[in-house]
Structure 1
Amino acid sequence: MQLRTVAVLCLLLGSSLSVGVGSTAAGLATTSTAIHPTSLAPINNTTNNNTSTSVPTPVPTSASRASTQPTPPILINYSIDRTPDSLGTVQVTATVTPPPNLVNLTFYLGAEQTILQSTGIQHIENKIWAWNDSLSSAITVTYRVAVNSSMKFGVNRVETDSWAFLGTPQVTLRYGYSYYPPNPDRQHELLIQGAGYVTPTPDNEPLARYLLLGPYNSRTAQTPSQTFHYVWPRNTTLAMDPSRALGILTNLSTAFNVSAKDPRVSVFSLPHPIRGGGASYNTSLWISASTPPTSDVLYHEYVHSRQSFPETTAAMAWLIEGSASYYSHYLAWQLGNRDLETFRDRLVRGVPTDAVLATTAQTTDAAYEKGALVLAKLDIRIRNKTNGRYTLMDVFRRLNTITESQILSVSRFQATITNVTGVSVNKSVNRYVTTRDTPTLPTHLEHLYTRSDTNDSTIPVNTTIPEAIAGADRVVQIQEFLTAIQYWKQTKSVPGTNQVLSLYDFLTLVELWKNETPV
């Protein structure tokens, strides 16, 4: 889900000069990303934007050479024109300002991109163009991008007579530079010629991923931790009132307590010919303008925006859509958009009984349906084995802290559940993920969902190490702490309290103690 910077290589030339090679890849996005206007309108106001929209230029990070001088960034400016006389395409001009230590640069155009003219670079082959420091210091590439695009479920990028919706039409760049180790940062700016809305860039992305070109309307709502921008093309008929949609989003921001909250989220509501349903990428999402208030599509795509767990193995690919599906049903019930019977109905209807999740592609029906049912079964087991102390949200909160270098496998998923909740689900996961066995749910679920998730905290035990271990406000000595560890091994609780702790809670307390108490 995230763009990654390709590792930097270096080549030693002679005894004093090094050349680094870097790369950044960014094609047309088919799903989304995040954020926008710096001036926030009240929720009851509608604002129209008819002027050029530009993403604020981020501040580049500075690297130091042996001389400790900062490395200037590679400046890349994109200017996008709808070209209304050529429906179905947009025109992009990319202007690159190379820093002094850049020695070569290569442009790779995608299949949807056709170069129209260029300055300061040379054509190599097919859609590859190159520059080196013996050429002009001004590098400009103008290219045409085909916008209209369909996927399995229908159109997801399009240009109409009055508006266009697409991903950022970037080019792929590779470059070489002198003075290793500093790798020149890339500093981007995107400008729309005319009216339009850009989802600005989160920290881990080079540019926005969604653009709405043409006149639009927008509403804004805020919670203490998130700001939502709801955007739609002007003169669009919306099945769900923006105030209702923003109310759902602000409630979800609190109810879905799994950390990984982005400060700003952009939500597009798009009319025909954009397909039904929706899509999400990082901190931006879109839904069809025909989505009714009773639908859980908005819930589903918002859950995707809060998934920060790392890349999965093939056997866990189902978790991405399965968890979005489960929590969209669950949260719609918890927030009063449907009753308990409908919640159960959505979980059990149409579930394929012969699917093996471990060999299921991420976007198949089995991932959505059986994946959601398996997670419901695990959630119920966790709630009841811990007397409501833990839920599956506690597990997802922990998964969202796993670093990208740690692949999410079946065994890591099992271990995370046990470490967080103290409940072993290994047999259930193996049975329902790696075989055709499909879980069932009781007819009545009221007594199985024993606790709301809205009051969870990042660290479930609201205490400090001295209080937890000694029952008093004093520093705990190392021997006393080791004794407490032995006590926990036997009773799964701590001296001075009646509180049962999972391994995850206890290790959290250990880390707190290490930071607060001298050994």
Structure 2
Amino acid sequence: MRTQLFAGLVCLLLVCTSPVALGVESGPPERASADDDRSIAVQYTIDREPNQTGHVRVTATIERPRHVTGLSVRTPAGTTVHRADGLQSDGDRWRLSGDARTAQLTYTVPVGLSTTFGQRTADTHNWTLLARQEVSLRARWRWHVGPRPTWNESLALAPGQSGVAGRTAAYIGPHETETRTVDGDRITLIVPAASDLRPNRTAVLDSISHAKRASTAGTDHDHIRVFVAPNELAPGGYTPSNGASDVIVNAGERVRTPVNVWVHEYRHTRQTFETTPAMDWLSEGSADYHTAALTYSAGGIDEDQFRDRITTERHETADLTQPDSWDGPGAQYHKGTRVVAAIDARVRQATDGNQTFETILDRLTRRGERMTLRLFAETVSAVAGDDLDAFVRQAVTGTAPSVQTDTLSDRNLRRSGTADTTDRRANAALSVDNSSATATSTDDEGKHGTARPVTDRHGEWTVLGTLGILSVVLVDRQRRRKRL
């Protein structure tokens, strides 16, 4: 009798907590297979438009997994749509038709990305250099059961086009490439015929190779693509997406300088941590500090140049947590460098050189949390083994602290840059999650979102299924007892 009562309660629980009773969209779990891709794959095939300079033609091929029940996309600004297969127009968006698993959208889009420091990409009569975000679609989707699908983008060149397509950047036109293998990984330099590369290729590859071997925090990619921007574009460099493997550097940038842009942009490829607005400065500040340190450790600059860079007084009173209060974008580069240098020196001193700022970045990256000033200060203290909370907060928000340069300019710094990353972690660039069953590739303003955990509805089915099996076993056991 007790067994029957318990089984009845279990069945009642199953009914009351079923997805239908709870109003949860669900369905039977899909069987996993070796070739079951849970991501929404979209490939942008790029073709030049000879008769329309400043634009490229894009064919976006979208592959929708079975468990994605709804998907719509929005084209970039200034787009002209030429053809839609498997998609229906819905205002300013295009929706996948019915049960279509594959769809294509062909459109023409302008190229010419500009940042605070000038124009980074262009389409000319002879060549095209573009960043993926210039041609990419903005997507929204819903899914049925299982883990949240990811939006997986890639670039490709149309047949007959000569160039190189990376993950987040592409070049089309006359060019040469040179590849260096570093501990089994590749660094490819793409040099357009239209560029006048001031440093020689060997110097560029040597500099990045040293940085790759010496860096230990963040993602260590198996293939880095360095797109050399023709000299007519803005000086400096640009990384289309932090943590991704492509960078763009102007052909006129030098190597033997404390602000070695080739190394600076490489450091951005390793940055997979997420920050709050108050900690956004850390991306540039840490990249600039490690650029100076790595160039010094490689012998590219002398000790005086290194010291001058990490003790700069420019923007020294800026509150790095308040970007709106800065008198220019340079605060994150200049004061940011000095703050990171000061913290690195304190940590090295507190640990007899056994821990460095790289350790701090590595821990923050592994935490996988969106970085706040509190979390940053806590991590610094944990690595140093000493309470540096007040020091860190004052350094970031108040006047920049002095830097114990002897700790950093010691020749051991050169020997410390020999460690090679071994445990690679993939960079999962997930999109903003508006609810447990909907997601977008970017928000309506086109800003990149922060990855957040979502409910795994497959897990709900697993728990309910276990209870169901238990009730069947109990009822069957009771029946057998009656027969006996």
Deviation at 1:235, TM superposition (A): 4.5
Is the CA contact 1:116–1:144 (under 8 Å) kept in the aligned structure 2? yes
**How far apart are the structure 1 equivalents of 2:320 and 2:69?**
49
Is the CA contact 2:275–2:370 (under 8 Å) kept in the aligned structure 1? yes
Is the CA contact 1:321–1:371 (under 8 Å) kept in the aligned structure 2? yes
Is the CA contact 1:72–1:185 (under 8 Å) kept in the aligned structure 2? no
Specify the code of the residue in structure 2 equivalent to 1:117: R
Specify which of 160, 178, 181 is matched with residue 219 of structure 1: 178
Q: Aligned residue for 1:291? A: 253
User: Between Structure 1 and Structure 2, which shows a larger proportion of helix residues?
Assistant: 2
Tell me, what secondary structure is at the counterpart of 1:142? strand
- Determine if the alignment matches structure 1 residue 369 to structure 2 residue 338: no
Tell me, what secondary structure is at the counterpart of 2:72? strand
**How far apart are the structure 1 equivalents of 2:153 and 2:180?**
28
- Determine if the alignment matches structure 1 residue 198 to structure 2 residue 173: no
Alpha-carbon spacing, 1:414–1:182, altered in 2? closer, same or farther (3 Å):
closer
Alpha-carbon spacing, 1:185–1:434, altered in 2? closer, same or farther (3 Å):
closer
Is the CA contact 2:66–2:101 (under 8 Å) kept in the aligned structure 1? no
Q: Aligned residue for 1:7? A: none
Is the CA contact 1:112–1:145 (under 8 Å) kept in the aligned structure 2? yes
- Determine if the alignment matches structure 1 residue 326 to structure 2 residue 289: yes
**How far apart are the structure 2 equivalents of 1:385 and 1:153?**
38
Is the CA contact 1:83–1:90 (under 8 Å) kept in the aligned structure 2? yes
Specify which of 45, 49, 55 is matched with residue 89 of structure 1: 55
CA offset digits 1:308-352 (Å, max 9, x no partner): 3x2222322211111111111111111111111111112233522
Deviation at 1:93, TM superposition (A): 2.0
Deviation at 1:359, TM superposition (A): 1.3
Specify the code of the residue in structure 2 equivalent to 1:284: D
Alpha-carbon spacing, 1:427–1:99, altered in 2? closer, same or farther (3 Å):
closer
Tell me, what secondary structure is at the counterpart of 1:323? helix
Alpha-carbon spacing, 1:85–1:264, altered in 2? closer, same or farther (3 Å):
same
**How far apart are the structure 2 equivalents of 1:132 and 1:447?**
60
Please list, as runs of the form range in 1=range in 2, the aligned pairs for 1:63-74 lying within 5 A after superposition: 65=29
Deviation at 1:230, TM superposition (A): 0.8
**How far apart are the structure 1 equivalents of 2:340 and 2:102?**
55
Please list, as runs of the form range in 1=range in 2, the aligned pairs for 1:125-204 lying within 5 A after superposition: 125=91, 127-133=92-98, 139-168=103-132, 169-176=135-142, 180-181=145-146, 190-193=155-158, 194-199=161-166
Specify which of 294, 301, 305 is matched with residue 342 of structure 1: 305
**How far apart are the structure 1 equivalents of 2:301 and 2:284?**
21
**How far apart are the structure 1 equivalents of 2:32 and 2:347?**
54
- Determine if the alignment matches structure 1 residue 255 to structure 2 residue 220: no
Is the CA contact 1:220–1:229 (under 8 Å) kept in the aligned structure 2? yes
Q: Aligned residue for 2:458? A: none
Alpha-carbon spacing, 1:338–1:116, altered in 2? closer, same or farther (3 Å):
same
Is the CA contact 2:348–2:354 (under 8 Å) kept in the aligned structure 1? yes
CA offset digits 1:417-473 (Å, max 9, x no partner): 2222313322211212122x222346x7378747432256889xxxxxxxxxxxxxx
Please list, as runs of the form range in 1=range in 2, the aligned pairs for 1:422-501 lying within 5 A after superposition: 422-435=385-398, 437-441=399-403, 445=406, 449=410, 451-452=412-413, 453-454=416-417
**How far apart are the structure 2 equivalents of 1:121 and 1:369?**
49
Is the CA contact 2:228–2:249 (under 8 Å) kept in the aligned structure 1? yes
Tell me, what secondary structure is at the counterpart of 2:176? strand
Specify the code of the residue in structure 1 equivalent to 2:314: V
Q: Aligned residue for 1:354? A: 317
Tell me, what secondary structure is at the counterpart of 2:120? strand
CA offset digits 1:221-277 (Å, max 9, x no partner): 111153211112124221011111111111111222335311111111111332100
With normalisation by structure 2, the TM-score equals 0.72
Is the CA contact 1:264–1:283 (under 8 Å) kept in the aligned structure 2? yes
Alpha-carbon spacing, 1:141–1:341, altered in 2? closer, same or farther (3 Å):
same
Is the CA contact 1:91–1:144 (under 8 Å) kept in the aligned structure 2? yes
**How far apart are the structure 1 equivalents of 2:149 and 2:282?**
37
Alpha-carbon spacing, 1:222–1:141, altered in 2? closer, same or farther (3 Å):
same
**How far apart are the structure 2 equivalents of 1:214 and 1:458?**
35
Alpha-carbon spacing, 1:189–1:292, altered in 2? closer, same or farther (3 Å):
closer
- Determine if the alignment matches structure 1 residue 234 to structure 2 residue 234: no
Specify the code of the residue in structure 2 equivalent to 1:333: Y
Alpha-carbon spacing, 1:182–1:380, altered in 2? closer, same or farther (3 Å):
closer
**How far apart are the structure 2 equivalents of 1:181 and 1:247?**
46
**How far apart are the structure 1 equivalents of 2:139 and 2:408?**
57
What are structure 2's unaligned runs of at least 5 residues? 1-18, 423-484
Tell me, what secondary structure is at the counterpart of 1:332? helix
**How far apart are the structure 1 equivalents of 2:305 and 2:149?**
54
Q: Aligned residue for 1:278? A: 237
**How far apart are the structure 1 equivalents of 2:95 and 2:188?**
39
Is the CA contact 1:239–1:293 (under 8 Å) kept in the aligned structure 2? no
Specify the code of the residue in structure 1 equivalent to 2:225: S
CA offset digits 1:464-490 (Å, max 9, x no partner): xxxxxxxxxxxxxxxxxxxxxxxxxxx
**How far apart are the structure 2 equivalents of 1:75 and 1:385?**
48
Deviation at 1:94, TM superposition (A): 2.4
- Share of identical aligned residues, percent? 25
Tell me, what secondary structure is at the counterpart of 2:219? coil
